Amino acid sequence: MSIMNIRERMMNSMILIKNGCVHNGRGQVKNTDLLIEDGKIVQIGEHLKASGAEVIDAAGMQVFPGFIDPLSDWGILGPGREIRGNANDNDERSDVFTPQLDVKYAFNGRGITRQQIYAFGITAVGVAPANNNVFGGQMAAFDVHGVNPMKMLIKEKTGMKASVTEAVKEAYGSRNLAPMTKMGIFAMFKEKLEAAKNYNPEDEKTERDEKLAALKQVVDKRMPLFVSCNTPTEIRSVLRATAEYDLDLVFCGGFGVDGTLSELAEKHCGLIVANPANGFNKYTRNTDYAGIAELARQGATVTFSAADNGFGGREDLLWSALEMQKVIHDDEAVLTMLTYNAAKLLGIENLTGSLEEGKRADLVLWSANPITSYKGAVEMTIANGEILYRKGDAMKCFL
């Protein structure tokens, strides 16, 4: 992008989108106009006018909220994927208990292979530590365009990442370190939650413990707990291990989950369903979209990720959603899962995830509905009120 184009974007803070078929991400569809000013949607209605605004005629186009990948490793991995070779900055394997770590310090927006993911309809990502630690650290939500990670940060502390998968055993058991078994994983899981519950930093006799202070945010419901699980048995074990606590739980993976896991709906849990095409996880073949759809009907908050903290991005996120569309044949419900539900689980639904007045202008113009037609292509992406992509723009690794 030329310096002149960047300056032109900065100078024009008003955009008027006219005549588009607007899907607000919460089940409503209407042919209407949207007025964007200073990064936000300031007005939605018919026959809008705005002096000095850049007018975009969206006649014949579908206007969607930007997709959100709530469990991404975009911006934090190294080998072959970023400018920092062999970084793997989301994967601290020196200690299996690291809740004090914060992923915002690992983030680098100039990733190579998934650079410009906004050209595929994604306008925000929830970035998380890897699956190798029982408690791996704190997540954050980021914009998908920029260089300065702190300016790209939408919200920090969006969740605490945990894992009870065999990845923990593989990371530490292979070095003859605990936990080496599933028993050891859950013993530590319960022990640390109880320690955080009893931790009282206000007591002058209590020695400061940064790890327990971080995990206490989960126990006190100031931060949701995102737990990676590969099987329904692992999910049920987590539910049992946390039964005595009142936690906001989000389960990551969704493999093998079916309609009988009604506890997820009863406890108002979130479920992030990973892309079933991910060949790096042998459990993806067990994904049961009919069962997951039943849980969504019962009240579980369902959304999708391009991968389960592994390689994924760009069209992978949409492909995950299309598997659900094949089952429920309700594109507006699927769109809500791709947008508003993802924002809700990250705690940013007041900022983005749907097209509503007062929210960030994160939206995508499609030539056709991509959930119902393979002919759907991105015509334009706007994130935080800035036009990031127009169809035909050159795709580059660096900004």
Q: Is residue 395 part of a domain?
A: no
**Are both 10 and 139 inside the same structural domain?**
no
Q: Is residue 396 part of a domain?
A: no
Which residue range is the domain that position 345 belongs to?
67-353
Q: Is residue 373 part of a domain?
A: yes
**Are both 35 and 80 inside the same structural domain?**
no
Q: Is residue 196 part of a domain?
A: yes
**Are both 247 and 259 inside the same structural domain?**
yes
**Are both 258 and 379 inside the same structural domain?**
no
At residue 39, what are phi and psi to the nearest 5 degrees?
Answer: 85, -5
Q: Is residue 398 part of a domain?
A: no
Q: For residues 329 and 289, what is the distance between their CA atoms, to the nearest angstrom? A: 12
**Are both 365 and 227 inside the same structural domain?**
no
Q: How many helices (H) does the chain have, and how many strands (E)?
A: 11, 16
Q: What is the CATH number of the domain that holds 74?
A: 3.20.20.140
**Are both 89 and 44 inside the same structural domain?**
no
At residue 3, what are phi and psi to the nearest 5 degrees?
Answer: -60, -35
At residue 293, what are phi and psi to the nearest 5 degrees?
Answer: -60, -35
**Are both 237 and 345 inside the same structural domain?**
yes
**Are both 346 and 365 inside the same structural domain?**
no
Q: Is residue 260 part of a domain?
A: yes
326 with 20: CB under 8 angstroms?
no
Q: Is the dihedral of CA 166, 170, 176, 179 positive or negative?
A: negative
**Are both 116 and 154 inside the same structural domain?**
yes
Residue 38 corresponds to which amino acid?
A: D
**Are both 369 and 304 inside the same structural domain?**
no
This prediction's pTM:
0.92
CB neighbours of residue 64 within 10 Å: 28
Per-residue pLDDT of the chain (399 residues; tens, 9 = 90+): 443 344 344 445 899 999 999 999 999 999 999 999 999 999 999 999 999 999 999 999 999 999 999 998 887 765 444 455 556 778 899 999 999 999 999 888 766 556 688 999 999 999 999 999 999 999 999 999 888 889 999 999 999 999 999 999 999 988 999 999 999 999 999 999 999 999 998 877 778 999 999 999 999 999 999 999 999 999 999 999 999 999 999 999 888 888 889 999 999 999 999 877 666 667 777 788 999 999 999 999 999 998 766 556 778 889 888 989 999 999 999 999 999 999 999 999 999 999 999 999 999 999 999 999 989 999 999 999 999 999 988 876 544
**Are both 234 and 105 inside the same structural domain?**
yes
Q: Is residue 225 part of a domain?
A: yes
- What does the DSSP assignment read for 81-140? TSSSTT--TT---S-SB-TT-BGGGT--S--STTTTGGGGTEEEEEE---SSSSEEEEEE
What pLDDT score was predicted for residue 87?
Answer: 60
**Are both 371 and 272 inside the same structural domain?**
no
Q: Which two tokens stand for residue 335?
A: 């769109």
Q: What is the CATH number of the domain that holds 375?
A: 2.30.40.10
Q: Is residue 49 part of a domain?
A: yes
| Cis-peptide into 99, omega within 30 deg | no
Q: For residues 380 and 159, what is the distance between their CA atoms, to the nearest angstrom? A: 31
**326-345 residues labelled b (16+ CB within 10 A) or e (exposed):** eebeebbbbbbbbbbbbbbb
Count Cα neighbours of 390 within 13 Å in the Cβ-side half-sphere. 7
Domain count, the chain: 2
